[in-house]
Amino acid sequence: MVSKQFVLKAVALIGVLCGMLWVYQTYGDRSVYLAMERSFGFVQGAMILAVIGLARYYNFRLERTAWGIAVALGLYCSVSTIASAALELAHWILFPYWYLLSPLSFVAMLGIWTWAVWVHAPGPASEGGIIDPTSELGAWSESWGRAVSTVRKVSNP
C-alpha cells in the first residue's frame, strides 16, 4: 500500500533532484553563488522600486527615515547585482575590485541609513484632525450587527 505522504515525499525528492541537476547543468563551470546573489539582488531592488513607486502613485509621502532606508538598500542591491554580473563576465580582471566594491557599498548603505535615522523627522500631520474613536466604534458595531443578522437570515430560512 502506498500512502499519500509517501507519494508527496517522492514527488518532492524528484523535484529537488531535478533542480540540482538543472543547477549542475546550467552553472557547472560558473559560480552558483554569484548567480543566486545576482538574482536575489535584482528581486530585492525591483521590490524596493515597486514599493516606492506605489507610495508615489497613491500620494503617500515617505518621511526621511523610510526614504533613506529604501534608497540605500536599493543602491546596495543594484551595486551588488552589477558587481556579481561583471565578476562573472570578467573574473580575472575584476576579482580584486569586487572584494573592495562589495564591502564599500555596504558601508555606504550603512552611512546613508545612519544619516536617515540620525534626526527624527516626523511625518506630516493628518489633515482630518483628531478622530473620535467612539464614533468609529459605533459605526463598526452597527455594520457588524447587520452582517451577523444577514448571516442568521441566510442560515435559518
Instruction: State the number of CA atoms in the 13 A half-sphere of 63 facing the CB.
Output: 11
- Is residue 57 domain-resident? yes
Cell numbers 527615515 correspond to: 65
- Is residue 9 domain-resident? no
What's the pLDDT tens digit per position in 100-148?
887 888 999 999 999 888 877 666 655 555 666 777 888 888 898 998 8
For residues 122 and 62, the answer to whether their CB atoms sit within 8 Å is: no
- Is residue 90 domain-resident? yes
What's the pLDDT tens digit per position in 12-57?
999 988 887 877 777 666 677 777 787 888 888 889 989 889 988 8
> What number of other Cβ atoms are within 10 A of residue 88's Cβ?
16
Euclidean distance between CA atoms 86 and 78, whole angstroms: 12
- Is residue 23 domain-resident? no
Of 45, 19, 15, nearest to 32 by C-alpha is 19
- Is residue 126 domain-resident? no
- Is residue 21 domain-resident? no
- Is residue 114 domain-resident? yes
- Is residue 155 domain-resident? no
Q: How many domains does the chain have?
A: 1
The amino acid occupying position 64 is: R
State which residues form the domain around 51: 30-119
